[in-house]
Structure 1
Amino acid sequence: MTYNMACVISAGRAVLELMQFDWEPLSHGELDQRLDQAVEEILEADLIERAKTQTAPVCLQQIQLPEATPHPLHSEDNHAVRYITDLLRNSDSSYSKSRLTGRARLSLPHTVLLSLTLLSRRLSYRSVSARFRLEKGNIHRIFFSFCERVNALRDQQIRWPAGQEAERILVPLSDALEDVEGVETTEVPKVFGILGHTRIPIRLPIGKQEIGEGLLEMKKMKKEVHPDSWLNLELVCDGQGRFLHCSISRGSDGARGQALRERLRLDPHAVPHGAFLVAGRSFPPLARILTPYPVVGCGPREEAYNRTLAAHLDVLDRAVAELKARFHRLRYLDMGNFERARAVVLTACILHNVLLEMGERVTPAQVVREEGDEEEGQGDEDGLRTREAMADLLSRRTQVGSS
């Protein structure tokens, strides 16, 4: 009996020493985090058991936020959630999967579900925290770790096609040219991609808010908005609306199309021979970028050319509208940190391609062309000559076809 008591006392002391060694060096904040982690792991285990009894799938656009209880993790059975989970799990990116000390982390499927909920609906962290029964700070950390992980897939999901892949996505500049008798199909100019841009509103950084306060009334009078209250999102998509190029910059940064112009300068063969990019009026006309004529002073020849380009520009407009219809958070990013805002926008663009690959599409309520009153971008002589040549070709060939 005495021996048994000694063993119990010895074991108790050993356990006490281990607990003191593990917990005493921690601050009160770290202790709270570890307690949160333990509680969340218990809740998650319970919710997983509840989920096993529910099998009804829910599509991405119908993901419903759970009430406080019970947590309907049957949404995890959604095809999009499963597909993105498998994509992240099987990716060979260099993203670190290490667990942060003292912080709770959801399983990957739960992380994907929570993050898609935040992206697809404009909800506060507080609201999601209450309904997912997770600490608010953890919601923030989980969401941005998801964005970081998805961003690591950029080179895999937003690719500039080359070789046979590039040839497969080419479409005729005008179907009318292919119907003209005696015209070889190989002679018909092709469209490689459509170039465009959109703005993503964000919260103005604190420093710039303070600077602008004294000019508030003046800005109201001029109806101007500080340029850094949005992000510029420059995109190139193919004929199916899949993004081939994505560049995100501050509202006050650089000239339109500069990133892509540099890319074409460094790689003259980036666009296949006989093919072009079609862009809006605010982009510069270049040798490989066809842009519309300014509206003022257009004759029948120029108007016909502009209509031809407009049919292609509609594809990019619809892709942008679909992006914003799928991810409502892009309507306004309530964050003044540029890098984090950029990570969220890039995440949405990558997932746009992933969901298109799955065959998931959404129908936007409205499609808008974001040209406004902007003037034509500063092009070069090669670009102007190419535009004239394409307008002449369309005019000449369509006249032949109608005669």
Structure 2
Amino acid sequence: MDVSEYVVSVGRAVLDMVEQEWQPLSPGELDQRLDQAVEEILEADLMAKPKTQPPPTNTMFVQLLQSQANVGPQVVHTEITTSSLLEEETAASQEVLETVDSAAVKYVTDLLQSSKSSTRLAGRARLSLSHTVLLSLTLLTERVSYRSVSRRFHLEKGNIHRIFFSFCERINMLEEKLIRWPVGKEALDALFPLYNPETKKGNEEQGVPQVLGVLGHTQIPLRLPIGNYDVESTAPEVKRMKKEDHPDSWVNLELVCDQKGRFLHCRISKGSDMDRGSALSDKLKQNPELMPSGSCLVARAGYPLTAQILTPYTTSHGTREDLYNKMLEEQFQILDKAVANLKARFQRLRYLDIGSYERARAVVLTACMLHNVFLDMGQVVLGEVKKEEAITQEREGEVDEEGVCRRDTILDLLFKSFDTESV
């Protein structure tokens, strides 16, 4: 290889490196930024002039546009009357900015900077990491339009999509760090009584377990592309599909949370996946060290009844079973509140206008992980528990003999404890 070929090869390598780290704005983004710059100049000029002074003439307006470097005739259509629209957009942008706490932005930014991943966030326009976090948190926490966010950050809507989903992918890489099953001393510290110690005694009664977490699930509505429906594509059929719920028009979110509402386990699946805790149940059976001695999880009917997972009686035979079910129902409220808080903070989960299950999964997982992050920071957004959040199933799930024996034993101990108190 001669010198010239060597120089060309090195030059291409340098260009590739530069392109990876910085890519120029697209024509659409350039036009938008030029429009925005002109609008800001016009607004500042109007604000500086006395109110009694007549507005600039069209000639002055054209001269002002021509004085801006690299501004072509494509932006001449901007009108002076946009000042009211600008004020509205500015107010909306400020409102969005105020909903995202600066401490949260800094915390998440530091979290990404400290991660081992060196993957660069996507997007042709190079935003700083803190602005990328702010943009992504804005989209997650508020149901603002992409147009509003586009004007706030001076980016094309398509570029915002790329940046947002790249952010979610980066957060997802920290799943093992942010959603952890407690072990050892951490697990022992997380245990809490099966029923409220402030009103009832006997929590140290031998055989009555301590609870590690509450197992349950919720559903996140999802926009499913019409092409994903496995039905004939006739016009009447299409209308019928729009009215009926398709099994995959939502995402199942299975969770285990501790007493503080922190998520210890998160499993996301398609709506057609009817599994309820079987995978987790098998994992706990195969790894008994994951549960401290004498501890358990509690779950509503429909989940497996095992030695590690306690579920209610689906058929009551009297006061004893009703008492046991009431004790468990108090614990279920912990998960209901955690889910309500999750959806109150991350309002994008009210309806995921996303046609891809994989992308929807990434967004839901990101919200669950950031739920733990903000909870650790002491930032709690209280949501209202709705009836649909407290999902109940009348049919009992899978049962094993060891689970039945343990539930009956606990029932006897609880009833004996309450009998002793009443004497």
Q: 1:256 aligns with which of 276, 291, 300?
A: 276
User: Which residue is 1:389 aligned to?
Assistant: 409
Report the alpha carbon displacement of residue 184 of structure 1 after superposing the two structures with TM. Answer: 4.8
Residue pairs, 1:92-131, within 5 angstroms = 92=116, 94-97=117-120, 103-131=124-152
1:303 aligns with 2:322: yes
The change in CA–CA distance for 1:357 and 1:273 in structure 2 (over 3 A counts) is: same
Report the alpha carbon displacement of residue 133 of structure 1 after superposing the two structures with TM. Answer: 2.0
Secondary structure of 2:292 counterpart? coil
User: Which residue is 2:162 aligned to?
Assistant: 141
Alpha carbons 2:190, 2:212 under 8 Å: kept = yes
Secondary structure of 1:293 counterpart? coil
- 2:125 maps to amino acid: A
- 1:251 maps to amino acid: G
- 1:203 maps to amino acid: R
Secondary structure of 2:229 counterpart? helix
The change in CA–CA distance for 1:142 and 1:219 in structure 2 (over 3 A counts) is: closer
User: Which residue is 2:309 aligned to?
Assistant: 289
Cα distance between partner residues in 2 of 1:34 and 1:252: 43
Cα distance between partner residues in 2 of 1:226 and 1:84: 36
1:157 aligns with 2:178: yes
Please report the RMSD computed on the Cα atoms of aligned residues, expressed in angstroms: 3.4
Q: 1:357 aligns with which of 376, 386, 393?
A: 376
Report the alpha carbon displacement of residue 382 of structure 1 after superposing the two structures with TM. Answer: 1.5
The worse-fitting range, judged by mean Cα deviation, of 157-166 and 103-112 is 103-112
Residue-by-residue CA offset, 1:193-239 (whole Å, 9 max, x unaligned): 1000000110113322362766567779xx85211001110000000
Cα distance between partner residues in 2 of 1:77 and 1:270: 36
Unaligned 5+ segments in structure 1 are 1-17, 48-65
Unaligned 5+ segments in structure 2 are 1-10, 41-86
The change in CA–CA distance for 1:267 and 1:95 in structure 2 (over 3 A counts) is: farther
1:337 aligns with 2:361: no
Cα distance between partner residues in 2 of 1:217 and 1:286: 44
- 1:301 maps to amino acid: R
Secondary structure of 2:248 counterpart? helix
Alpha carbons 1:81, 1:109 under 8 Å: kept = yes
Q: 2:195 aligns with which of 159, 174, 186?
A: 174
TM-score scaled to structure 1, two decimals?
0.78
The worse-fitting range, judged by mean Cα deviation, of 240-249 and 258-267 is 258-267
Identity within the alignment, %: 51
- 2:263 maps to amino acid: F
1:33 aligns with 2:26: yes
Cα distance between partner residues in 2 of 1:247 and 1:254: 12
Alpha carbons 1:68, 1:133 under 8 Å: kept = no
TM-score scaled to structure 2, two decimals?
0.74
Cα distance between partner residues in 2 of 1:77 and 1:249: 31
Report the alpha carbon displacement of residue 120 of structure 1 after superposing the two structures with TM. Answer: 1.0
The change in CA–CA distance for 1:31 and 1:394 in structure 2 (over 3 A counts) is: closer
User: Which residue is 1:61 aligned to?
Assistant: none
- 1:80 maps to amino acid: A
Alpha carbons 1:178, 1:188 under 8 Å: kept = no
Report the alpha carbon displacement of residue 136 of structure 1 after superposing the two structures with TM. Answer: 1.0
Report the alpha carbon displacement of residue 179 of structure 1 after superposing the two structures with TM. Answer: 6.2
1:86 aligns with 2:98: no
Cα distance between partner residues in 2 of 1:373 and 1:212: 33
Residue-by-residue CA offset, 1:260-283 (whole Å, 9 max, x unaligned): 123213312211110000001121
Alpha carbons 1:194, 1:313 under 8 Å: kept = yes
Alpha carbons 2:121, 2:167 under 8 Å: kept = no
Report the alpha carbon displacement of residue 106 of structure 1 after superposing the two structures with TM. Answer: 1.1
Cα distance between partner residues in 1 of 2:238 and 2:324: 43
User: Which residue is 2:153 aligned to?
Assistant: 132
Cα distance between partner residues in 2 of 1:282 and 1:389: 21
Instruction: Give the length in aligned residue pairs.
Output: 352
User: Which residue is 1:317 aligned to?
Assistant: 336
